């Protein structure tokens, strides 16, 4: 029997579901500070655990009047209402961010930068602020600085929410391939959110990408025949022609990509080619994030997943985003 196609799915998500879905990805359901294993060669990792634990304790103790009310009520209490984890790919920043979220009592929300911009696009800015302003914590994974419009949007959202007493914890990825280059990410972050930069503590997390420690490169693509056979023999798997799936993603709001792959056990893509343009590439990044969130394996024919983005794209303004996507998709393809 032919495997079903993602391209045939038409998921719908209402406003309450969008807010309710703002939780850590399933792969981080069980992570806690105690399960983070710092690299002994990277002392910043153990220090980051301590900083994050202290932040979570302060937010948890803020009480019903909110973090800012608690902070100003107890002038001697150290710390700031914002925490920013600065570091490269695969050093455990998301593990630490999810651990903060698990340690803080609700109401609370957790989402990637892209998910938040999609939420505002789906609900509108005033409604998003209204629904989140009663929360104790908003955790933002993968804060992105490559789109000025989106950065300003989320910066404004952070400003509105911190004014309402919501604590903010955020992460961002920096480039791993140049020794000093990543060090500018924290400065970039604080500059972009300059209206509230003084409210953020920056915590550095150094180290190599754990996803690639001692692991092989992306497996070679399958033949079309091998891919079809694998998809049809895997319960719950899907099989799509790459070009058709790209066309389907163009007609689907990114806030629905998670629902698109819910319940799927493995994704098979036939005839993969490099993304033809930036719009397609960015949709593939968003889809890749949702697959990674759910730990859904990916198998392909055609080009290898490491070739999904052209050299021009990898050298352009969205370089960090594409490198993160390659890192995650390659991990899913092993």
Q: What's the pLDDT at 78? A: 55
Q: What's the pLDDT at 9? A: 93
In the CATH scheme, what is the code of domain 31-208? 3.40.50.300
> In the chain, which stretches have pLDDT less than 70?
62-79, 146-147, 173-185, 209-216
Angle (nearest 5°) at CA 106 between 100 and 121: 85
Q: What's the pLDDT at 15? A: 83
- What is the residue extent of each domain of the chain? 6-11+215-333, 31-208
Cα–Cα distance, 268 to 260 (Å, whole number): 14
**pLDDT averaged over every residue in the chain:** 85
Question: For residue 175, is it left (φ>0), alpha (ψ between -120 and 50) or beta?
Answer: beta
Question: For residue 236, is it left (φ>0), alpha (ψ between -120 and 50) or beta?
Answer: left
Give the rounded distance of the alpha carbon of 129 from its chain centre: 20
Cα–Cα distance, 230 to 241 (Å, whole number): 15
Nearest to 164 by CA among 301, 24, 67: 67
Q: What is the pLDDT of residues 267-281, one digit of tens each?
A: 999 999 999 999 999
Q: What is the pLDDT of residues 93-134, one digit of tens each?
A: 999 999 999 999 999 999 988 889 888 988 999 999 999 999
Q: What's the pLDDT at 324? A: 81
Q: Which two tokens stand for residue 279?
A: 């719009």
């Amino acid at each position: 029997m032919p495997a079903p196609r993602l391209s045939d799915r038409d998921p719908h998500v209402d406003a309450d579901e969008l807010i309710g879905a703002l939780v850590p990805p399933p792969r981080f359901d069980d992570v806690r500070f105690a399960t983070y294993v710092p690299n002994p060669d990277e002392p910043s990792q153990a220090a980051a655990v301590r900083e994050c634990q202290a932040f979570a304790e302060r937010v948890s103790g803020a009480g019903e009047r909110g973090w800012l009310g608690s902070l100003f009520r107890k002038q001697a209490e150290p710390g700031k209402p914002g925490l920013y984890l600065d570091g490269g790919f695969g050093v455990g920043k998301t593990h630490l961010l999810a651990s903060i979220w698990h340690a803080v009592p609700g109401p609370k929300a957790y989402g990637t930068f892209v998910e938040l911009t999609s939420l505002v696009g789906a609900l509108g800015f005033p409604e998003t602020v209204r629904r989140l302003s009663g929360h104790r914590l908003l955790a933002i994974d993968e804060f992105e600085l490559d789109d000025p419009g989106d950065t300003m949007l989320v910066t404004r959202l952070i400003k509105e929410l911190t004014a309402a007493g919501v604590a903010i914890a955020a992460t961002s990825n920096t480039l791993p391939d140049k020794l000093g280059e990543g060090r500018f990410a924290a400065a970039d972050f604080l500059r972009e959110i300059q209206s509230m930069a003084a409210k953020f503590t920056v915590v550095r997390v150094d180290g190599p990408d754990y996803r690639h420690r001692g692991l092989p490169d992306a497996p070679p693509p399958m033949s079309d025949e091998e891919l079809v056979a694998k998809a049809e023999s895997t319960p719950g798997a899907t099989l799509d022609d790459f070009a058709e799936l790209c066309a389907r993603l163009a007609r689907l709001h990114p806030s629905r990509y998670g629902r698109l792959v819910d319940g799927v056990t493995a994704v098979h893509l036939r005839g993969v080619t490099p993304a033809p343009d930036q719009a397609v590439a960015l949709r593939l990044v968003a889809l890749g994030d949702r697959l990674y969130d759910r730990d859904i394996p990916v198998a392909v024919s055609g080009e290898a997943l490491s070739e999904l983005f052209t050299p021009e794209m990898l050298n352009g303004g969205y370089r960090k985003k594409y490198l993160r996507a390659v890192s995650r998709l390659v991990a899913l393809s092993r």
